[in-house]
A and B are shown apart, each in its own frame.
Chain A
Amino acid sequence: MLIYNIISLSAFLSIMVSYTGNVFMSLIYAVLLFVNATLLLLTLGFEFLALINILVYVGALAVLFLFVIMLLEVPTAELRSYYRGYSVLALIGFSAFSLRFFGLFNKFTGYSSNYYITSLTHTNESISNIGYAFYVNYADLLILNSLVLTIALLGALVLAHTSKPQ
Chain B
Amino acid sequence: MLQLSRRLLLGASSNIMFWSGLVGAAVFRRNIIVMLLCTELVMLACNLNFLYAAAYLNDMTGVIMSITITTIAACETAIGLALCVTYFHMRSSSDVEALNFLKAAKE
Give chain A's interface residues, CB within 8 Å of chain B.
3, 7, 10-11, 14-15, 17-18, 23, 26-27, 30, 33-34, 37, 40-41, 44-46, 49, 52-53, 56-57, 60-61, 64-65, 68-69, 71-72, 74-75, 124-125, 129-130, 133-134, 137-138, 141, 145, 148-149, 151-152, 155-156, 159-160, 162-163, 165
Give chain B's interface residues, CB within 8 Å of chain A.
1, 6, 9-10, 12-13, 16-17, 20-21, 23-25, 28, 30-31, 33-34, 36-38, 40-41, 44, 47-48, 51-52, 54-55, 58, 60, 63-64, 66-68, 70-79, 81-86, 88-90, 94
- Contact among B23, B25, B51, B82 with A159 in the assembled complex (CB-CB below 8 Å): B82
Judging by beta carbons under 8 Å apart, are B64 and A18 in contact? no
| Interface class of chain A by DSSP | helix
- Contact among B33, B60, B64, B76 with A74 in the assembled complex (CB-CB below 8 Å): B33
Judging by beta carbons under 8 Å apart, are A18 and B63 in contact? no
Judging by beta carbons under 8 Å apart, are A17 and B51 in contact? no
Give chain B nearest CB distance to A22 CB in angstroms.
10
Bound Cα distance A160, B94 (Å): 18
Bound Cα distance A150, B53 (Å): 30
A40 to chain B: which residues have CB within 8 Å?
Answer: 10, 48
